[in-house]
């Protein structure tokens, strides 16, 4: 049905409305997912469960990397083309604008999974190797922590740490001591800054996506807007100031190119 639409206003209105909705899903679920992983390893920490703590922390790092990878590929292009996209969302597009990359990355964020041979799915649904997401962060400390956590999740010497200890007399002894809390505290002591850094690499861009949506002046996005108070930490950041500069420049460029087009169309002002 979408391919049958011929006029640029309706075509662009639908196209960018769907993309902005997917951006909202990406921003909102990224934050909610991180909170779930924090709850998971926090619960395991207080239960003195070394395995649960490491698994939860590993899940957090993977979630952070996934969010950073996706937002890093879409947030700047949307900011730099903000004026054109805003006109499309107002039902007032004067020129077509498409981005296969943004489409595929947002579809990948939601639908990525291990594709079976029998599945009839596009390439954007195929999950990439987690190392690719982690490498996008470009932080050797994150990679080091992740490798350590994998050593616990997979069968290895570190996975036996709750049961085996070296002593002065013996390289390893089997014991019945409860040392999970000490193991968990050791990870936190060595990697607290890394955990915070990885978290910021996800929460910052995710909040940036939501604040970017708040900037659009179009009825169709009103239901997607987030309360300003929730996004206050982002408002004062250098990251947001750079995005806002790009947004303002894009709006200015669009108005200069189409000075007569800066009004809501009749058909879309009611949110149709």
pLDDT digits (tens, 9 = 90+) for 186-233: 999 999 999 999 999 999 999 999 999 999 999 999 999 999 999 998
Calpha distance 102→77 (Å, rounded): 8
Calpha distance 22→198 (Å, rounded): 23
Residues near 171 by beta carbon (within 8 Å), at least 6 away in sequence: none
pLDDT digits (tens, 9 = 90+) for 249-267: 999 999 998 875 554 433 3
pLDDT digits (tens, 9 = 90+) for 131-162: 888 888 889 999 999 999 999 988 887 888 88
Give the pLDDT confidence score for residue 260 in this predicted structure: 58
Across 105-125, average pLDDT:
81
Question: Of 210, 266, 229, 268, which Cα lies nearest the Cα of 21?
Answer: 210
- CA dist 40 to 46, 58, 117, Å? 10, 11, 33
Q: Which residues pair with 10 in a beta bridge?
A: none
Ranges assigned E (strand) in the chain: 164-165, 173-174
Task: Record the pTM.
Answer: 0.86
């Amino acid at each position: 049905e979408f391919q049958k639409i011929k006029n640029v206003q309706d075509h662009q209105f639908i196209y960018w409305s769907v993309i902005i909705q997917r951006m909202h899903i990406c921003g909102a679920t990224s934050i909610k997912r991180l909170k779930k992983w924090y709850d998971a390893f926090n619960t395991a920490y207080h239960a003195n469960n070394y395995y649960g703590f490491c698994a939860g922390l590993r899940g957090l790092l993977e979630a952070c990397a996934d969010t950073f990878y996706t937002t890093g590929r879409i947030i700047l292009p949307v900011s730099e083309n903000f004026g054109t996209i805003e006109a499309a969302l107002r039902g007032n597009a004067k020129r077509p604008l498409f981005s296969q990359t943004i489409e595929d990355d947002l579809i990948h964020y939601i639908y990525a999974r291990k594709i079976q041979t029998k599945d009839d799915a596009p390439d954007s649904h195929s999950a990439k190797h987690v190392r690719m997401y982690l490498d996008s962060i470009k932080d050797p400390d994150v990679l080091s922590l992740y490798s350590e956590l994998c050593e616990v999740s997979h069968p290895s010497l570190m996975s036996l740490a709750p049961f085996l200890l070296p002593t002065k007399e013996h390289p390893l002894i089997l014991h019945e001591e409860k040392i999970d809390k000490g193991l968990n505290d050791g990870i936190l002591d060595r990697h607290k800054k890394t955990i915070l850094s990885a978290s910021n690499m996800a929460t910052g861009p995710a909040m940036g996506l939501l604040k970017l949506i708040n900037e659009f002046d179009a009825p169709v996005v009103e239901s997607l807007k987030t309360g300003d108070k929730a996004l206050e930490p982002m408002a004062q950041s250098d990251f947001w100031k750079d995005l806002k500069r790009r947004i303002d420049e894009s709006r200015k460029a669009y108005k200069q190119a189409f000075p007569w087009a800066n009004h809501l169309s009749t058909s879309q002002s009611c949110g149709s």
